[in-house]
């Protein structure tokens, strides 16, 4: 889950993660407003690339929380 602040809401974070870190992203759910919001994103790729992409998003000011599937 990516949580956005007023400072990050207009940044193309998901696009940048997929392009810069060679990841496939799938938006599963979102709730965005003009100044804040959250997006649940499925991210697929190499583990190192995923870790680097998440670290990059955090460095940009986006809060990242991992959601695990329960079976």
Which pLDDT score is estimated for 70?
60
Whether 14 and 41 have beta carbons less than 8 Å apart is answered as yes
Q: Kindly report the CATH number assigned to the domain that includes residue 54.
A: 3.30.70.260
Alpha-carbon gap, residue 53 to 22, rounded angstroms: 9
Sole residue written with tokens 């990059």? 56
Joined together, the tokens standing for residue 59 give: 């460095």
DSSP state of 63: E
CB atoms within 10 A of CB 27: 11
Provide the domain limits for residue 44: 2-64
Residue 48 lies inside a defined structural domain of this protein: yes
What is the average pLDDT across 41-57? 96
Is 12 within a domain?
yes
What span, in angstroms and rounded, lies between the C-alpha atoms of 14 and 7? 15
pTM of the predicted protein model: 0.86
Predicted confidence (pLDDT) at residue 32 exceeds the cutoff of 70: yes
Number of domains in the chain: 1
């Amino acid at each position: 889950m990516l949580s956005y602040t007023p400072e990050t809401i207009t940044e193309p974070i998901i696009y940048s993660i997929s392009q810069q870190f060679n990841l496939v992203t799938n938006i599963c759910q979102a709730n965005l407003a003009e100044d804040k919001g959250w997006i649940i994103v499925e991210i697929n790729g190499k583990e190192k690339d995923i870790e680097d992409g998440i670290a990059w998003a955090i460095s940009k000011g986006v809060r990242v929380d991992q959601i695990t599937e329960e079976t």
